[in-house]
Amino acid sequence: MDQNDSLPPPDPTAAPPVVPVPTPDASAAPPKPAAPRPAAAAGGAKPAGAAAAGGAAKPAAKPEPKAPAIPPGPPDPPPPADLARPGWLEAFEAAFPGVAQLSYFVGDWTVIVPLDRLIETATWLRDDAAARFDYCADATAVDWPTRAQRFDLVYCLYSVPHRHRVRVKARVGEAEAVPSVTGLWPAANWFEREMFDMFGVRFSGHPDLRRILMPEEWQGHPQRKDYPLEGPGELMIEDPQEWLKLRNAAREAEFD
Amino acid sequence: MDNQRVTSSMFDTDELVINMGPQHPSTHGVLRVVLRLDGERVVDADVVIGYLHRGIEKLCENRDWTQIILLTDRMDYVAAATNNLGYCETVEKLMQLEVPRRAKYIRTALAELQRLASHLVWLGTHAMDIGAVTVFLYCLRERELILDLFEEYCGARLTYNSMRIGGLPGDLPPGWDRKAREICDLVDEKVVEYEQLLTQNRIWLERTRGVGVISAADAVAMGFCGPPLRASGVYRDVRVDEPYAAYEELQFDIPIGAAGDTYDRYLVRLEEIRQSTRIVRQALDGLPDGPVMGKVPRLIKPPAGETYHAIESPKGELGFFIVSDGKSLSPWRFRVRPPSFTNLQLLPKLVRGHLVADVVALIGTIDIVLGEVDR
C-alpha cells in the first residue's frame, strides 16, 4: 500500500521535467543570436562538434580576443654563452660542424638535427667512445599543427657507461618518411609503432609497423592536436585552428 | 592407405597458433599474447596491447597542471605515489621550483613504501602464476598494512593523489612514522618467511632458473629497465645515477644479478624489498623540520620549454617528457615513458624456445601493469 502511495507522486513529478524543458526554450531567446555564431564557426562540424560548440557558446560571446593562438613551435632556447659544454658534445660538433642546432633548458641538452642526417648523427652518438648513448630511453613525437614540418621527433638517449643524457630532435612533415632507428636501438621498435599509431608518422625500414594501442581499423591519429578529445573517434574537425579556439574558449569559461 | 593418412595427420608437425588473453588470469590484466607453438615449445609470440588504453596522454594535454596528478594515479595503479612523484618533479624541474627538504624526505619514504607494496604484489602474483598460492596470501597480507599507512596519510588506498607541485598536500599524521617503522620491521621479518618458501624450493628453482635469460648487452639495447635490467648485470638505477628527491643523502645498495634469468630477477626484487625498508627508516630518522610545501605560484603555468625527467619506479625507469607552450593552462605535450611498456617489448624474445607453461612465469617476471602499458 505504501508502495502504491509512493507510486502516484512520480506521476506528478513526471510533469515537472516537462516544465523545465520549455524554460530553456523560453530562455533560449536571448542566447539565440549567440547560437548561430558557433554553428557558423564550427562550419562543417558534425553533431559532436556542434555539441562542443554549444558548450562554448556562452564564453565565445565575450572573450573573443582572449583565445591564445596556437604556438608556432618549441622555443628551443640556445645554450648560454658562458655554459661549459660536455666533452662528447664538443666532439659531436667537431664531427658534424654546422649540422646540429643546440639547445639547453633546465639542465637538458638537446641536439636538433636535419632529418636526412638523423641516422648518421644517431649512429655517431651511439658508437663514439665519449658519447656512448647506448640506451634509447624514450622516443616520441610532438605535434605543432601550424608549422610546415608539423612533427618534432624526440629521442631521449641515455648512456649507461657514462651516465649522461641527450635529446635528439628532428623536424618532419606529415608526408615525409622517417628512417627508423630500430637498427641502432631495438628498444625504439614499440616507441616508433606508438608514434605511427598516435601521430601517423611514417617510418621506413621499421620491421613491424602496425598500430599498437588503437585497434587496427581505427581512423585517424588520436594524439594529433586536430583530433578532438571527445566525440566519435572517426570524426575529425577539419580546421585545427577552429578546434583549438573552441577548446581554449571552453577552458576560459571554466575559470570564470 | 587410409591408415597411413590418418597416422600422418595424427603426427602432424604444423605449427599451432593459440591465443592467450586478454581475459586470462595470469596476464595481469588485459594482455593478449598470440603464441605460435611447435608442440609444447613456443616458436614465436606476438604481444597485443591497448585493451586498457584510455588516452591518458591526450587527456593530460587538456587538463590543468594540477589536475594531471590525479590522472597519473591511474597509470601504474599498484604504485600510484611513484607516478605522482615523477610528474610533480618534472613540473618542478620545468618551473625550477625549490621543494622543502622535509617534503623531499617524506616523498622518498612514500615512494619506497610504494616500492614495497608493488614488489609484494609482484611476488605474490608471480608465485601464484607458478603455483605457490600461499605466498600470494602472505604478500597481500603485508601489503594491506602498507595501504593502511597510505590511507592514514592521504585518505586513499590505491589512487592517492598524494603529491603536489612544489611539495605535499599535508604533513605526516602524528604517530605515522612509528607505524611505518613497525611495518618495515615486519616486512623485513616476513621476507625471510617468503625466502623460506621459495628461494631453495626445488619446484621454484626448476621453474625459474635458466628461464628467460637476457644478456646484459641485449637488455640495454632492447630498453629493459628496472629490476630486470639489473638482474642481467647492468648497474643502472635512476636513484643513484640521476638522484632525485632525497636519495642523494641516503645510504642504500643496488642489488645486481648475474645470470639474467627469472630466478635472478626474483632475487634482485627480494633484495630491493630489504633495501627499501632500509631507505624508509633512514628517511624517517633524518626527517628535517620545516614546511612540506614550497613557494608555488597560485596559478601553475610553467614557462615555454620542454624537459624529460625520470625516476625509478618499482617497475623501472618512469620518465615524463613534458612540453609547455608557456601560454595555455595545460601542457602542450605530455608524454609518459612507462617502464612496463619497454619491458613488455621483450616478452617475445623471452618466451622463444620455452614451454607454454613458462610463458606464464615470464609474464610474471617482468612485472607489468597494463594500466601503465596502455595508458
Read off the pLDDT of residues B227-266 as tens digits, 9 standing for 90 and up.
999 999 899 999 988 888 889 889 899 999 888 889 999 9
- Contacting residues for B122 by C-beta, under 8 A, at least 6 apart: B269, B314, B364, B367
Our count of domains for chain B comes to 1
Confidence of residue B145 (pLDDT cuts 50, 70, 90): very high
Residue B20 β-bridge partners: B33
User: Quick check: is A180 in a domain?
Assistant: yes
- Which among A156, A227, A248 has the least Cβ separation from residue B321? A156
| Mutual angle of helices A47-55 and A240-255, in 10-degree steps | 30
Instruction: Give me the pLDDT at residue A37, please.
Output: 39
- Residue A160 belongs to a domain: yes
pLDDT in tens, A66-97: 555 677 777 788 888 888 888 888 888 888 88
Q: Is residue B1 included in any domain, yes or no?
A: no
CB B50 within 8 A of CB B374: yes
Cβ–Cβ gap A189/B345 under 8 Å: yes
pLDDT at B320 over 90: yes
- B8 falls within a domain: no
Cβ contact, residue pair B332, A142, below 8 Å: yes
Stated pTM of the model: 0.79
Task: Kindly determine whether residue A222 and residue B341, on different chains, have CB atoms separated by under 8 Å.
Answer: no
Q: Are A168 and A136 in contact (CB under 8 A)?
A: no
Q: Which of A156, A160, A185 sits opposite B236 (nearest CB)?
A: A160
- Position B122 confidence tier, pLDDT thresholds 50, 70, 90: very high
CATH value at residue A179:
3.30.460.80
Q: Is A52 within a domain?
A: yes
Residue with cell 597510505: B150
pLDDT at A5 over 70: no
Pick from A49-63, A79-93, B186-200 the range whose average pLDDT is largest: B186-200
The pLDDT confidence band at residue B11, using thresholds 50, 70 and 90, is low
**Pair (A33, A123) in one structural domain:** no
| Mean pLDDT, rounded, for A120-138 | 89
Mean pLDDT rounded to a whole number for chain A: 72
Average pLDDT of the segment spanning B76-96: 90
* The three cell numbers locating residue B354: 620455452
Phi, psi at residue B83, to the nearest 5°?
Answer: -65, -45
Evaluate whether residue A229 is within a structural domain. no
Asked whether residue A211 is assigned to any structural domain, the reply reads: no
Closest listed residue to residue B109, CA positions, set B28, B181, B29: B181
Is A106 close to B93, i.e. CB distance below 8 A?
A: yes
The mean pLDDT of A221-247, rounded to a whole number, is 66
Based on the domain organization, do A198 and A91 belong to the same domain? yes
Average pLDDT of the residues in B324-343: 89
Which is higher by pLDDT, B148 or B7?
B148
Output the domain CATH number for residue B63: 1.10.645.10
Q: Are B219 and B260 in contact (CB under 8 A)?
A: yes
Q: A63 in contact with B at a CB cutoff of 8 Å?
A: no
Residue A175 has pLDDT above 60, yes or no: yes
Asked if residue B5 belongs to a domain, the reply is no
Average pLDDT, chain B: 88
Together in a domain, A94 and A200: yes
Q: Which residue among B94, B330, B375 sits closest to A106, beta carbon to beta carbon?
A: B94
Confidence category of residue A141, pLDDT binned at 50, 70, 90: very high
- The answer as to whether B7 is a domain residue is no
Whether residue A218 is contained in a domain is answered as no
* Model confidence at A139: pLDDT above 80: yes
Is residue A145 in a domain?
yes
Within a domain: B69: yes
* Range of the structural domain that residue A6 is part of: 2-70+239-255
Q: Which of B59, B94, B319 sits opposite A138 (nearest CB)?
A: B319
Contact A190 B317 (CB under 8 A): no
Nearest 5°: phi and psi at B16?
A: -110, 130
B294: its cell numbers:
614550497
Asked if the Cβ–Cβ distance from B327 to A71 is below 8 Å, we say: yes
Residue B375 contacts A, CB cutoff 8 Å: yes
Is residue A213 pLDDT above 80, yes or no? yes
Q: Are residues A50 and A11 in the same domain?
A: yes
A99 and A197 share one domain: yes
Per-residue confidence (pLDDT) for residue B12, from 0 to 100: 60
How far is B190 from chain A, CA to nearest CA, in Å? 34
Q: What are the b/e assignments for A37-74, b being 16+ CB within 10 Å?
A: ebeebbeebeeebeebbeebbebbeeeeeebeebbeeb
- Domain containing B287 equals 15-374
Same domain flag for A58 and A127: no
Cα–Cα nearest to B283, from B187, B170, B181, B169:
B181
Question: How many CB atoms neighbour CB B252 within 10 A?
Answer: 16
